[in-house]
Amino acid sequence: MLIQIEGVLTPDQLAQCRQALQGQDWVDGRVTAGEQSARAKHNLQVPEDAPAARELGDLILTALGRNPRFVSAALPLRVFPPLFNRYDQGMAFGTHVDNAIRFAKTSGGPVRFRTDVSATLFLTDPADYDGGELIVEDAYGEHAVKLPAGDMILYPATSLHRVAPITRGSRWAAFFWAQSMVRADAQRSLLFDLDNAIQDLSVKVGQDDPAVVSLTGTYNNLLRMWSEV
């Protein structure tokens, strides 16, 4: 399931991110790649313990916590602190699958969690670079994603995916993962569709309509059945 989430960051927040990242020391992006991914990865990254990365990561996490579409689609149990990458001309990331387990640094020490959902939040306007599409493979083929700055794409972390070579300009983005309360992508997809249908119906007939109450009960019972909380 690929889900676009529009307007995660406001124009002012985007400007804040760009200004903060402009002055950072970018390092080889392979520092966070697994053995297989490292052979395919050619980009730059802000060190995850850089103060600016932590500050901007908190800004993004706060915005996501207020975004009902993200919560509905990802059903997040834990969210990895956002990281920041950069693809300049000639850079790319070959086909790979994200690591199944990540270690997040917290004040209480490292926390291990499973990556169910991958996320890319675009920070650069598409007109400012050529190439750089995020290409995600699924049963229906390949999907090329290049979104406006401030928009985000969610996709299963189990997916084969790559970043096409940059031929002009520079592409900046935040990327991270979430461990979902519901492990299976197919189940998350059904719950997302059902939640959207309930919201649409409640606008038309009201939240107290018997059909809305019944469907809401079904949603919660499915979530209870499938969640690992």
Domain ranges of the chain: 3-180, 185-226
Question: What local confidence, expressed as pLDDT, does residue 109 receive?
Answer: 77
Task: Tell me what the mean pLDDT of segment 144-162 comes to.
Answer: 97
Q: How far apart are CA 2 and CA 115, in angstroms?
A: 15
Distances (CA, A) of 121 to 86, 145, 220: 12, 11, 29
Which among 225, 133, 135, 212 is positioned nearest to 183, based on CA atoms? 225
Q: What is the mean pLDDT of the chain?
A: 94
Q: How far apart are CA 91 and CA 195, in angstroms?
A: 39
In sequence order, the β-bridge partners of residue 173 are 85, 122
Question: What local confidence, expressed as pLDDT, does residue 29 receive?
Answer: 82
Q: How far apart are CA 160 and CA 155, in angstroms?
A: 10
Of 2.60.120.620, 1.10.3720.10, 3.90.870.10, 2.30.36.70, which CATH number belongs to 3-180?
A: 2.60.120.620
157: tokens are 């972390």
Question: What local confidence, expressed as pLDDT, does residue 34 receive?
Answer: 60
Q: Per the confidence metrics, is the pTM higher than 0.85?
A: yes
122: tokens are 């675009």
User: Can you count the helices (H) and strands (E) in the chain?
Assistant: 6, 17
User: Which of 108-112, 139-143, 146-150 shows the highest mean pLDDT?
Assistant: 146-150
Residue 36 has pLDDT above 70, yes or no: no
Q: Do the beta carbons of residue 146 and residue 95 sit within 8 Å?
A: no
Q: How far apart are CA 92 and CA 108, in angstroms?
A: 35
Q: How far apart are CA 134 and CA 163, in angstroms?
A: 5
| Choice among 23-32, 72-81, 91-100, 177-186 with the minimum mean pLDDT | 23-32
